[in-house]
Amino acid sequence: MQHTLDAILTSARAEFAADVPLPSRAEFEAAKARYVGPNGQLTAQMKKMGSVPKEERPALGKLINQTKLDVQQLLDAALARIEAGELRASLGPPIDPTLPAPDIGPGSYHPLSAVREELSRILRKVGFTVADGPEVETEYYCFDALNTPADHPARDTQDTFYLPSSVRFANVPKKTEHEHYLLRTHTSSVQIRTMLKGQPPIRIVSPGRVYRRDTTDATHSANFQQLECLYVDKNVTIADLKALLDYLFESLLGKDTKTRFRPHYFSYTEPSFEVDLSARHLPKVNKEWIEIGGCGMVDPAVFADVGYDPEVWSGYAFGMGIERLAMLLYGIDDIRYFYQNDLRFLRQFA
């Protein structure tokens, strides 16, 4: 039996030696069965143990076990090499990282960024500078300082995303301990931040993201972008406001664009208006008037709150949605296209 066991080990070594070409997985499985399967050579030797004289059994048993271990080790090593080969095959040919990258062409502005930048550029030409404010705001800047009463529906948790009271933002200090952090619902908060930082005259444009608890559909998104304008000086009139809006929309959408004011209510302006646009020359515009934003003359209460004398200073403010304007300009009928990052959509604006 010892000879047979030696012969089995020798043949297994020859079959699975590292320098012998690897068998296929099927060949490997067949070979494995030949050695250690239920009808394999080693199993046959073990079955013979019963007829071995008692005194020879311990030594022979040890030898069989050792041979089994050795053969199993050879099988394991071969299987590992076969698996490594299969993995290499599934990974495809090796990559040469020194080759130049495939030419995917230059990127381009997202349509919302393009419109946002264009609006800021148009306004910079007439003396506005870009101002910024945090997207996580406090109730003071988003509502209180804008003269918005505590029971105004915009403050409702159904309209506004509030943050848990346990959160703290070191770089957005609260004015009072009991006020809440929220995601700003409009960029009008930047008006207050700007006025508190300096003295008139002020002429700022502030584009940025805003958040509302809206259910997403073709014309609503819980996160969208606005652009806010504030002008504070002596003797500012509604005529100045109207002239600026006409200049802005004509520059962006073309000379045939018209604006109209409809009386409205905003707590931070008095009088207040909604702004409508007429732009029939644009493709896909089939309505005469399209609501585009809100505006008005800064309310004296807002000036008083930031420490400006309302008897000396006057000003106008307006705010509008950037998505709405981009949809008009490009003839897009679903706001969700802006956020899907579908290259087939984005490449049209390259």
- Please report, as ranges, the residues that interact with ligand DAH according to CB under 6 A: 186, 188, 228, 266, 268-269, 272, 293-296, 317-319
CB of 218: closest distance to ligand DAH in angstroms? 19
Cα dist from 79 to 39, 40, 183, whole Å = 20, 18, 58
**Contact (CB, 8 A) for 207 and 187:** yes
User: Cβ closer to ligand DAH: 247 or 349?
Assistant: 247
Q: How far is CA 272 from CA 31, 60, 168, 245, 337, in A?
A: 88, 103, 35, 14, 32
**Least distance in angstroms from the C-beta of 139 to ligand DAH:** 15
As a whole number of angstroms, the distance between CA 42 and CA 76 comes to: 16
**83 assigned to a ligand binding site:** no
Quote the least distance from Cβ 317 to ligand DAH, whole Å. 3
Of 46 and 154, nearer to ligand DAH (C-beta) is 154
**Distance of closest approach, residue 105 Cβ to ligand DAH, in angstroms:** 37
b/e sequence 14-50, b meaning 16+ C-beta within 10 Å: ebbeeeeeebeeeebeebbebbbeeebbbeebeeeee
CB of 349 to ligand DAH, least distance (A): 26
* Helices within 231-334 (DSSP H only): 238-253, 300-306, 322-330
Q: How far is the CB of 191 from ligand DAH (least distance, A)?
A: 7
Q: Could you tell me which residues come within 8 angstroms of residue 239 by beta carbon, excluding any fewer than 6 positions away?
A: none
| CB closer to ligand DAH, 73 vs 216 | 216
**What is the phi/psi pair of residue 97, to 5°?**
-70, -5
The residues, ordered by sequence, that sit 6+ positions from 207 with a Cβ below 8 Å of its Cβ are: 116, 119, 120, 130, 187, 225, 226, 227, 228, 322
145/317 with CB nearer ligand DAH: 317
CA distance linking residue 112 with residue 254, whole number of Å: 18
- Calpha distance 36→34 (Å, rounded): 6
Q: What is the CA radius of gyration of the chain?
A: 38
Report d(CA 241, CA 273) in Å as an integer.
Answer: 11
Whole-angstrom Cα distance, residue 219 to residue 145? 29
Name which of 200 and 319 has its Cβ closer to ligand DAH: 319
Q: Which is nearer to ligand DAH, 207 or 294 (CB)?
A: 294
Nearer to ligand DAH, 318 or 338 (CB): 318
Closest separation in Å from C-beta 169 to ligand DAH = 22
- Residues placed in the known binding site for Mg(2+): 270
- Residues placed in the known binding site: 270
